[in-house]
Structures are given as structure tokens and as C-alpha cells.
Chain A
């Protein structure tokens, strides 16, 4: 077995939390039941990984099997990577019947014709998701297994989720391979990025709880504002206002959990509006400014801003339109009227 393969498998095992190693090796299926039973999973990880590498040596593992283990790891822990969303477009109306074998063949062929040194692996999952792992090399060097890009393509949709590595220069080639293999005509990057792959899927597939326009003559009785304290000595003077905020919030955010995003970024290219006497800028040039909101769970924290008394309800549509518009990176240019619809897509 190749030294580099052994080292790669060893490092991959070390990334897995100790309690999960056994399950993951099962999923991998490369080592036999008997071999797995011989491993002591209670020792320290360094020793477990050595044992696994030893067994892989016996089975003569090659890079393909090692890559499959890496895919399994990334499928279970996708949140370690940053994912971008791409949308593909077809010019014709024909809905081609999706042929997985054909897709894989065309994809590999295009990549390999442009770049000799590249490792490509596929793995299909139940929800029509095709996971593609690509390790990039150069015309003169072997593929670097530690610098991989991941692509998740749901064949019944025009959406592709890409976690590119540092090698951004390979992105155009990757996009081209996807287009050719999937029979689409063009691909564009959506301004939507997050660590949480499932949340990105929730947003583009509209699987999160959305607000519906409902008009109730009287407020619903079943859902009460949870009383902050049952102590009858505390009297809330602004109960009506609190209920209004809850209602508005529910209309905007819906009832269920929000998709998990870490950032919202607003690039302002607007004119600086100041007192003419202040004369900050001599030139009439747009004032460039970047506003970035970050949070472990941005949308949930926005949802609680108004009830927590930290902002007025309803919130700015710039913030609340994020899941609906499926974007968290915005560019705001000078416009007469200031509405989300006037955002210019890059």
C-alpha cells in the first residue's frame, strides 16, 4: 500500500470523534466484520488509527477506498466546510431523463481531459444527492488529497452545492464539467453561503417553515404569549405591544426553526448623505462600506431581536428577506426607492 494512502487514512481516522469511528468504518465497509472486531476502540485514537492502517495494509487499500472514507466523513460532518450554492439553467425545455452512469462518465471525461492529475470519486445517497469528491493536482504533481473540493448535486433540481478548497482557480473547470455532465447550459453562483449544508438545502428547496399571509379577524387564542413569570405581583404594562411584536414576528419568521446561517453581508455602494456643511467628501462618489452580521445562528437571533426589546418590530426587510430571496450576500446600490427588489445581482 502506498505510503501516502496509509498516511491519508491515518489522518482521516484521527479527525473522527473516537465514539464514531466504529460506525464509520462499518459504513465504509472496506474492512471485514472480523477485522473490525479485532480493533480495540477504547484505546487512544492514535493507536486506533494505527490498527486501522495496519488492516488496510492487509487489504491493500488504494486511494479510491481512502477517498470513499473521506466522503463518508464529510457527509456526516458537512458543517466543517463552507458551502456555496450554484444554480444551473437549461435553455431548452426538454426534461432529460437523468442517467447517473452517463453523468459520471461525462464529468470524469471532461475533468480528466483538462487536468491529468485529479482524483474523482462519487457516492450516491438516498435523497437523490450525488456527492462528488475531487482532489486536485497540477500537470506536474499528483493530486493533493488534502486539498479537496466537494460537490453535492441533487439530480432532480438545478442546484449544486460546492465546497471549494483553496484552489479557486479550478472552479471554472469544475462548473464546466458539471454543466456538460448534467446537460445544462449555464451555471451561476448564488449569493448564499454557509457552513450548514442542510440549512442551505432547506432554503433553496423551501423546506423551512415559511410565513403565510393570514388574516385573522381576532387573534388566535391557542398560542399564547408564554408568560415570563407567573408572579402576579409583576404587571406588564405593554402587554398589547408585546403581543403585537409576537404576532408580527410569527408572520415574518413562521413558527418553525430557522435555517442556520452564520453571516449576512451588505456591501453598500451608496452616496454618503451628510449635512452639506459637514462636507466630508469633496467628490460626489459612492461611499463604500461593508456591513457584516455574524452569529452562530443568524436567523434565530434576528427572530428574537424584537421580543428581546433590542429592535423595533417589524425588522428591516433587508434582514427578513434572507431565506425568501435565498441569499445572504447583498450589494446595495443607489436607488431612488429602497426596496429589496432593486438589489442588483452580481
Chain B
């Protein structure tokens, strides 16, 4: 399900399946997209932040067109305790690899991987990312 912002339109509530993972996409070239994500985060139930939310930062292939500061991204990661993935949508290889990563995360969040919970996995990701 693709949405431009949250909250989701209520008229489709009955058509929606259970949500296992929310990936917030931030275009590093657009401050507008960061503001949009920050506003949408307020509409997410707290239980999602136990491993069922991640931030996907796109557009990192063009660092000279950066509009969003990395500090803002790290702040989101810390405040919402959720991992950050980086990708460049215009490169097919990176795109496919990122999709595979998200799919793996989704499998964990949906409970399809025995022995690994969403919370455990996100803690794992956070600890390994901390330098």
C-alpha cells in the first residue's frame, strides 16, 4: 500500500489488511518530504515503533543535491528508535537490493521467521549501526 501521507483515508479502512511494516520514504533532495514524514509520524500508533517502522532515505546517489541534513535523519532514528536504510532508486542494483532487505524485514515483522521478532531484529540493526 502506497500513501503520500498519514493518516490513511478512512473510507478504505475495511479494505486494508493488517499492517506489519511501515517504511517512511524521505527524499534527501527534498525538505518537503522530510516535513511530510515528520507530520505523518504523529499519526502512527506507539506499538509500531517496536520494530515495525523503518526510514528509507532515497536519492543518496546525488549528494550534491542534498537538502536534508544528516542530523535530521539521525534525530528521527533516535527519537523513534527505528532503523534507517539508504538507497538510490535510480540504480537498479541498489533498488533491487533494498527491496530484498525490506522484504526480509517484512517477513520478520509479519512473524514468518521463527525465533526472530520485530523488536529483536530492530535492536540488532540499531546496535550494529552504532559506530
Contacts and interface: CB of A to CB of B under 8 A. Distances in A.
Interface residues of A, number: 11
A232 interface: no
B30 interface: yes
Nearest to B8: A237
Given A237-B12, A238-B9, A309 B4 contact: yes
A235 B2 contact: yes
Contacts of B33: 309-310
B120 interface: no
A310 to B, nearest CB: 6
Question: Chain A interface secondary structure, helix, strand, loop or mixed?
Answer: loop
Nearest to B11: A240
B4 A311 contact: no
Interface residues of B, number: 11
Contacts, number: 25
A234 B30 CA distance: 24
A237 B30 contact: no
B35 to A, nearest CB: 11
A236 interface: yes
A241 interface: yes
B27 to A, nearest CB: 8
B1 interface: yes
Contacts of A310: 30, 32-33
A310 B3 CA distance: 14
Interface string A301-313: 0000000011100
Interface of B: 1-5, 8-9, 12, 30, 32-33
21 contacts: A234-B2, A235-B1, A235-B2, A236-B2, A236-B3, A237-B1, A237-B2, A237-B3, A237-B4, A237-B8, A237-B9, A237-B12, A238-B3, A238-B4, A238-B9, A240-B9, A309-B33, A310-B30, A310-B32, A310-B33, A311-B32
Given A235-B2, A236-B2, A238-B9, 8 more contacts: A237-B1, A237-B3, A237-B4, A237-B9, A237-B12, A238-B4, A238-B5, A311-B32
Interface of A: 234-238, 240-242, 309-311
